[in-house]
Amino acid sequence: MTHARPLGAGADAGHKPPRSFHPRAGRMSDLRFNSIAGAVLASVLGVMGVGIAADAIVEPNYPAKAGYLPAVTLETGGGGPATPAGPPDFGRLFADPAQLQELIARGERVVAQCRSCHTFEAGGANGIGPNLHDAFGRQVAAHPGYDFSDAMEAHGGRWDYLALNDFLRAPASAVRGTKMAFAGLRNDEERVAMIAYLRSISPNNVPLPAPLPEAAPAEGEAAPAGGQTPAPH
């Protein structure tokens, strides 16, 4: 008499665990993962090591002050750089056509930081601040359609070379009570460049001032030929 085999008994006896659950396969997967992770880590550490070694061999030369404008040396008629003390010598700085064009181009880049509040095109709308197309040579607080502060209206005068220079350096100091929040342009070259740009777009014909008197030579320093004193530097 044939006895029935319990259901699944034969299958269980010859059945192998699925590949994914095989103990050896699991150990191989772990080893492969560890090998890949180790290779990646070694590569990262190698790159970092090269960077550290490069910095040790060649010291990086970072600028002392971040900026986006090329340096422009303001030359006076005597060939020396303009003196940082006192007002800029606009009569000399703007008399050189090549230097003036360079300053205008730089000034156009400087005013990019002002475009969130001002427009510079002819007929441009007023924004947080007035349109500045004709600001150079314009009567202070006289642009139509803009509500100037009482302090600005009481200031009076015109925006000529020196008035603009003083105001752009420190608006709050030049016009006490102004509502202009701009801190000012303390960099002399950027300020002169901005004035050059404002002058170039203004329809107001404001003549150049006379060059400032040249400083007397220092004690023990001979004056140049022709009796002229050297430009301040």
Q: Residue 162 belongs to a domain with what CATH number?
A: 1.10.760.10
Each residue's pLDDT tens digit, 62-113: 334 333 334 444 444 444 444 446 889 999 999 999 999 999 999 999 999 9
Q: Do 173 and 107 fall within a single domain?
A: yes
pLDDT in tens, 178-216: 988 889 999 999 999 999 999 999 999 899 999 999 876
Domain hosting residue 40, numbered range: 29-58
Residues 99 and 190 in one domain: yes
Using left for φ > 0, alpha for ψ between -120 and 50, and beta otherwise, residue 94 falls in: alpha
Residue 225 lies in a domain: no
130 and 54 within one domain: no
In a domain, 194, yes or no: yes
Number of domains composing the chain:
2
| Full-model pTM | 0.59
User: Do 191 and 134 share a structural domain?
Assistant: yes
Structure tokens at 229: 């004193």
Indicate if 107 and 166 belong to the same structural domain. Answer: yes
198 with 136: CB under 8 angstroms? yes
Considering the domain architecture, whether residues 102 and 195 belong to the same structural domain is answered as: yes
| 172 assigned to some structural domain | yes
Q: Is 47 exposed, middle or buried (0-12, 13-18, 19+ CB in 10 A)?
A: exposed
Residues 99 and 196 in one domain: yes
How many residues in the chain? 233
pLDDT of 122-174, one tens digit each? 999 999 999 999 999 999 999 999 999 999 999 999 999 999 999 999 999 99
Residue 68 placed within a domain: no
- CA–CA distance, 12 with 184 (Å, rounded to integer): 87
- 192, 72 Cβ separation under 8 angstroms: no
Q: What is the pLDDT of residue 34?
A: 73
170 & 122 share domain = yes
